[in-house]
Amino acid sequence: MVDRSPRDPALDADFKAEIVTLIPHLRAFARSLCGDATSADDLAQEAMMKAWDARASFQMGTNMKAWTFMILRNQFYSEKRRSWRQTQLDQEAAERTLVAVDDPEAPLALDELRLSLGMLPPEQREALILVGAGGFAYEEAAEICGVAVGTVKSRVSRARRALQAVLEAGAYDRDGAAAGDAMGSILAEAERLSTVS
Amino acid sequence: MKQPSPPERNARDMIERPSGGPDVGTAAMDEARLLQQAIGVRLRQMFDEVVNEPVPTAFLDILRRADESAEQG
């Protein structure tokens, strides 16, 4: 963080050029948090504007990607605190996942994994996305999430095991269990795995 | 039969099922490890799909207006 003129044209131009390159990554991270494309783009645009408004506090040459991701994440949770509907949507996504894997011929498709992610606790999902897809080191992910590095490692590990439980329970579901029963089994197994460190 | 290229394969296809050897525990561990690898591949694919989408013009319009506003202010 440095003090400088917030309206230095040259620095603003550099800032703008760099943030433009990050827009695709902000959109992808937002999509992973929100689930649907429209809400995600709204979130990414808000985060981009917050970053622009706060550009005077950003030191060029440092990690703008991590900085903007942190802004986006904070914006997401700020909005989430104002609404509990996201929880319902996650549950609906999980139900759709079970329907999707009920077909014995259905492959483990990309959509299946995408929807399965919706069953994870948000803090596990974001840690897994940041490290497993976003290309961040554990240290960077910890900075973005505002937690210790060990916490991120633990969340990633739990997320992976929980996802595995979801996917394996999908196979169980094909053996004839009702979707509702399977849902309970999946969540119970995921919770059991998440408590085993 | 021709094997599909890796980006188009689904995660479960990437798992080689054990052939029923005596070491069931090792086979299960191998399958779990392969499943984790498949999850990793799919995660990156899911993320990269969005990264590779064209950026909606709204993003650049918003940034351009903000930049113009800063120049005028």
What digits encode the pLDDT tens for the residues A152-177? 999 999 999 998 888 777 632 333 33
Query: Whole-model pTM?
Result: 0.71
Q: 40-69 in B: which are within 8 Å (CB) of A?
A: 40, 42-53, 55-56, 58-60, 62-63, 66-67
| Exposure letters A125-136 (e unless 16+ CB within 10 A, then b) | bbbbbbbbbbeb
Convert the pLDDT of each residue in A61-73 to its tens digit.
889 999 999 999 9
Six token digits for residue A2: 């440095």
Q: Rounded to an integer, what distance in angstroms lies between the CA atom of residue A67 and that of residue B59? A: 18
CA B60 to CA A184: how far, in whole Å?
Answer: 45
**Run of H or E residues at B34:** helix B24-51
CB-nearest partner of B46 from A6, A108, A133: A133
Backbone angles phi, psi at A146, to 5 degrees: 70, 35
Which ipTM did the prediction report? 0.70
Using DSSP's 3-state secondary structure scheme, residue A83 falls into coil
CA A136 to chain centre: 13
Q: Among A81, A90, A49, A82, which residue's Cα sits nearest to residue A68?
A: A49
The pair of structure tokens assigned to B30 is 């191998």
d(CA B63, CA A13): 11
